[in-house]
Amino acid sequence: MAMELLNSIPVSLELEKVLRGLHLRNVSKYVEGTVQELIQTVRPVAKPKAIYEVSYVDNRTEDSLCIGGVKFTSHVLSVNLDKVERVFPFVATCGKELDEVAIPSDDFMKSYYLDAIKEAVLDSVRSYLKNYLTRNYALGQISHMSPGSLADWPITQQEQLFSIFGHVEDSIGVKLTENFLMVPLKSLSGIYFPTQIEFVSCQLCPREVCSERKAPYDPGLAQKYRENV
């Protein structure tokens, strides 16, 4: 197994992308100016980070498998990794530095704008890590799954995922709460794996209202997973 820390990740913060992330019907000059000021504040202090490990899969069953010697219980994960030997567990974050950007406690809109900026930084980290793995390990298409993204793989298994890396907080500043949420909140964890067809957990989730949805629910695909196809 090989673990690597990525702490020199370039930050891409485009005003238009952040504004789209706000999901506002109309963007006034005031909003645009305020967001631009926040971007200028964030750029010099943002230090996004990611950690990943090259791990191998064994001890597969219909509903569980071991990755790097750590057992995970998930039928969907087991199906996705049925013929996969090498995977890449990871934790990525926008960085705790952005949680230290001072916003007046009563300025809810600025807090909302800053949240969208943090999300844009995390999106940059996610893209950088995905491209880094693809390039450096000669992978084709890769997808990822995250604990808590489906009922089949509960968020409680964050603890097992974090155990692969040892002291994640010491490495990249991300810690788990007693409810298995990550702090900073704009962090992402999971397992990247090679796949011929892109997999997005949202395809198997029937929840109708979700601001984080990345792909439409596919009942036919969900049925295939239930049938182990």
Give the per-residue pLDDT at 154. Answer: 95
Between 204 and 102, the more confident residue is 102
| Torsion from C-alpha of 213, 198, 224, 71, nearest 10 degrees | -90
Q: What is the pLDDT of residue 2?
A: 79
Residue 118 is given by DSSP the state H
- Give the confidence band of 6 by pLDDT, cuts at 50, 70, 90: very high
**What pLDDT, on the 0 to 100 scale, is given for residue 114?**
96
Q: Token match 């692969």: residue?
A: 164
% the chain with pLDDT above 70: 95
Helix (H) or strand (E) holding 39: helix 29-42
| pLDDT of 207 higher than 80 | no
Residue 21 tokens read as: 């992330």
State mean pLDDT over 59-88. Answer: 94
Handedness of CA 88, 200, 113, 43 (dihedral sign): positive
Higher pLDDT, residue 196 or 115: 115
- Does position 159 have pLDDT exceeding 70, yes or no? yes
pLDDT in tens, 128-145: 999 999 999 999 899 999
Q: What is the mean pLDDT of the chain?
A: 91
Sole residue written with tokens 């950088």:
128
Show the tokens assigned to 5.
């820390």
Per-residue pLDDT at 229 = 45
Q: Quote the percentage of the chain above a pLDDT of 90.
A: 74
Give the pLDDT band (50/70/90) at residue 211.
low
How confident is the model over 92-118, as pLDDT tens digits? 999 999 999 989 888 899 999 999 999
Cα 136 from Cα 52, distance rounded (Å): 13
Residue 71 CA: distances (Å) to CA of 31, 89, 121, 157 = 47, 13, 31, 9
* Cβ contact 150:139 at 8 Å: no
Domains in the chain, please, with CATH? 2-198 (3.40.109.40)
Gap between the Cα atoms of 30 and 36, Å rounded: 10
